[in-house]
Amino acid sequence: MIPSFDSLWALLAARGHERYTGEPVTHLEHALQTADLARRGGAGEALVLAALLHDVGHLIHGVAGTPSAAGVDDRHEAIAADALQRLFGPAVSGPVGLHVMAKRRLCADPRYLRALSDDSRRSLALQGGPLDAAGCEAFDRLAHAQDALRLRRWDDAAKRPAREVPPLDTYRAMAEALLR
């Protein structure tokens, strides 16, 4: 659990250099790319911050390596959403908590499923696989579902080594302004 904003920010800065699970970028590169895509996509500040912090649950739980390769669903979205809810409220935590379900929703389209990275396909199986029609309808009615779908698409596109993006400190004042 992350008790404060400062400890969350310090965790991202200190451990962000670690390789992002099963992908060719680090945690921080992935976070910054996702936030930059959200910003460029016209997202509001809460959704940009959600994009930046959507995978911080991987760092909070502290499991090293690639959990999905060991057959483990690390539930990083729930861990992150819990910490972010207390700090920022539902506009940030809602899309974060739903970004894995959004992947499952988007995988109802076989073209989307085929485009996933190997690790995303492996973790998808552990997360319950693609949603069926009833699951898709239920997801679409959830608060923050549309933001989670946007976040998920930025998430998928944010795995490019050496992509130029603004540094972490670019987002600090915005994040502090959104604190509860």
Percent above pLDDT 90 for the chain: 74
State residue 117 phi and psi, 5-degree precision: -65, 165
Q: What pLDDT, on the 0 to 100 scale, is given for residue 177?
A: 97
160 in helix, strand or coil?
coil
Q: What pLDDT, on the 0 to 100 scale, is given for residue 65?
A: 65
pLDDT at 2 over 70: no
Domain count, the chain: 1
Confidence of residue 165 (pLDDT cuts 50, 70, 90): very high
Q: Tell me which long-range contacts 136-140 makes (C-beta under 8 A, separation of at least 24).
A: 136/105, 136/108, 139/98, 139/101, 139/102, 139/104, 139/105, 140/105
| Tokens at 54, concatenated | 């959507």
CATH number of the domain where residue 77 is located: 1.10.3210.10
**Which residues, in sequence order, are CB contacts of 79 under 8 Å at separation 6+?**
57, 60, 61
pLDDT at 67 over 70: no
| Tokens at 23, concatenated | 């992908």
**Which residues, in sequence order, are CB contacts of 57 under 8 Å at separation 6+?**
74, 75, 76, 77, 78, 79, 80, 81, 83
Confidence of residue 23 (pLDDT cuts 50, 70, 90): confident
Q: What pLDDT, on the 0 to 100 scale, is given for residue 6?
A: 94
Q: pLDDT digit string (tens) for 108-159?
A: 999 999 999 888 898 899 999 999 999 999 999 999 999 999 999 999 999 9
Q: What pLDDT, on the 0 to 100 scale, is given for residue 59?
A: 87
Mean pLDDT, rounded, of the chain: 92
Q: What pLDDT, on the 0 to 100 scale, is given for residue 60?
A: 86
Q: What pLDDT, on the 0 to 100 scale, is given for residue 38?
A: 98
The boundaries of the domain holding residue 159 are 5-178
**Which residues, in sequence order, are CB contacts of 52 under 8 Å at separation 6+?**
31, 32, 34, 35, 38, 171, 175
pLDDT at 71 over 80: no
Confidence of residue 56 (pLDDT cuts 50, 70, 90): very high
pLDDT at 19 over 90: no
